[in-house]
């Protein structure tokens, strides 16, 4: 599927109705546009089945609750709506985006209790998030922005507003010829990339940042489970920047990223080694099984 995202053929699910793609619009005074009262999920459908679809729907509800609103559809209704979107567009392999947000209503200030909550679901065909980096290893910048303290924002929600610094960090990275950027947290520990969790390998063991101020991704959780099933030791812990000198391999995980090897972060370099390739292949087989 090519072209601008607002000018395509297809159907989008809007509050219980499948509408033509180009008609899926919102009013300029939609609360979420002004105050970021929006949460979303990114999911992938493989061979006609969304991987961890129900888990994503549950997390969408959790995220909404973190932002102090309720989605007016059950998990089961959201799952059914996602399937309807895929069927309406004839997709067997696609990316699915569900977004819930405070719409336009009687309130147009920071408070928005009188405004309705909307739920829209779209799907489109999408290849590798990092292009050919999935084979040869992505190159990452080091972001100047840091993941903030959980005392300052709802760190564990998949909320649109939390991606503002990610957008700026990724733009800066792309300007340097990088695919993405690694971010530190407010304490200076290694945190994640702009839209993916990060893993490192040292002497056959895996180290990954403790998700205590950022999203504990569903793909991250899946990969940790796969590693442990293989008998590989996984350390979920705080990682200081200077420790990257001794790390031998690195990869990113996320619904969009899937499992993508990393060849370079700033001045640090990593091999696309056997363990990285093995876990990427294992994950690929799982999602398509």
Average pLDDT of the chain is: 96
- The residues that bridge with 50 in the sheet, in sequence order, are 45
| pLDDT band at residue 54 using 50, 70 and 90 as cut-offs | very high
Task: CATH 3.30.470.10 in the chain: give the residue spans.
Answer: 11-124
Number of CB atoms found within 10 A of residue 89's CB: 20
Active site residues: 158
According to the model, what pLDDT value does residue 134 have? Answer: 72
For 80-118, how does the pLDDT look when each residue is reduced to its tens digit (9 = 90+)?
999 999 999 999 999 999 999 999 999 999 999 999 999
Tell me the residue ranges of DSSP E strands in 47-196.
Answer: 49-50, 94-102, 117-124, 138-147, 180-185, 190-193
Those residues with Cβ within 8 angstroms of residue 3's Cβ, 6 or more apart along the chain or in another chain: none
Among the residue ranges 122-131, 185-194, 239-248, the one predicted with the least confidence is 122-131
Quote the Cα angle for 75-220-254, to 5°.
80
- Per residue in 212-225, pLDDT (tens digit) is 999 999 999 999 99
**Does position 131 have pLDDT exceeding 80, yes or no?**
no
The residue-averaged pLDDT of 197-218 equals 98
CATH number of 11-124: 3.30.470.10
- Residue 206 is predicted with a pLDDT of 98
- Please state, in angstroms and rounded to a whole number, the distance separating the CA atoms of residues 234 and 205: 6
Under 8 Å between Cβ of 201 and 249: yes
In this structure, of 72-76, 125-129, 172-176, 246-250, the range with the lowest mean pLDDT score is 125-129
Res. 130 pLDDT band, cuts 50 70 90: confident
Average pLDDT estimate for 43-66: 98
Confidence bin at 128 (pLDDT 50/70/90): confident
135 pLDDT more than 80? no
Whether 224 and 236 have beta carbons less than 8 Å apart is answered as: yes
User: Quick one: fold of 133-287?
Assistant: D-amino Acid Aminotransferase; Chain A, domain 2 (3.20.10)
Structure confidence at residue 1 (pLDDT) = 55
Q: What is the pairing mode between strands 49-50 and 38-46?
A: antiparallel
Mean pLDDT for the stretch of residues 199-207: 98
Listed in order, the ranges of the chain carrying CATH 3.20.10.10 are 133-287
Q: Is residue 226 over pLDDT 80?
A: yes
Q: What is the pTM of this model?
A: 0.96
Rounded mean pLDDT of 67-74? 98
């Amino acid at each position: 599927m090519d072209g601008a995202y607002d000018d395509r053929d297809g159907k989008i699910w809007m509050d219980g109705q499948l509408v033509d793609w180009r008609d899926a619009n919102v009013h300029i005074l939609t609360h979420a546009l002004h105050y970021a009262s929006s949460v979303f999920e990114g999911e992938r459908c493989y061979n006609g089945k969304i991987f961890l679809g129900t888990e994503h729907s549950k997390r969408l509800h959790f995220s909404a609750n973190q932002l102090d609103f309720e989605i007016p559809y059950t998990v089961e209704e959201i799952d059914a709506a996602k399937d309807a979107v895929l069927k309406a567009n004839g997709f067997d392999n696609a990316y699915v985006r569900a977004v819930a947000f405070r719409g336009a209503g009687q309130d147009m200030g920071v408070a928005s209790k009188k405004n309705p909550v909307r739920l829209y679901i779209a799907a489109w065909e999408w290849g590798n998030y990092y292009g050919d980096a999935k084979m040869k290893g992505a190159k990452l910048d080091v972001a100047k922005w840091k993941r903030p303290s959980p005392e300052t924002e709802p760190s564990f929600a998949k909320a649109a507003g939390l991606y503002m610094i990610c957008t700026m960090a990724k733009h800066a990275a792309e300007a340097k010829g990088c695919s993405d950027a690694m971010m530190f947290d407010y304490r200076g520990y290694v945190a994640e990339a702009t839209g993916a969790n990060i893993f490192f390998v040292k002497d056959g063991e895996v180290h990954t940042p403790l998700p205590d101020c950022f999203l504990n991704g569903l793909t991250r959780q899946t990969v940790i489970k796969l590693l442990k099933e293989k008998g590989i030791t996984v350390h979920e812990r705080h990682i200081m920047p200077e420790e990257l000198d001794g790390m031998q391999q690195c990869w990113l995980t996320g619904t969009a990223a899937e499992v993508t090897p990393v060849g370079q972060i700033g001045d640090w370099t990593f091999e696309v080694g056997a363990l990285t390739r093995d876990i990427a292949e294992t994950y690929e087989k799982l999602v398509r099984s």
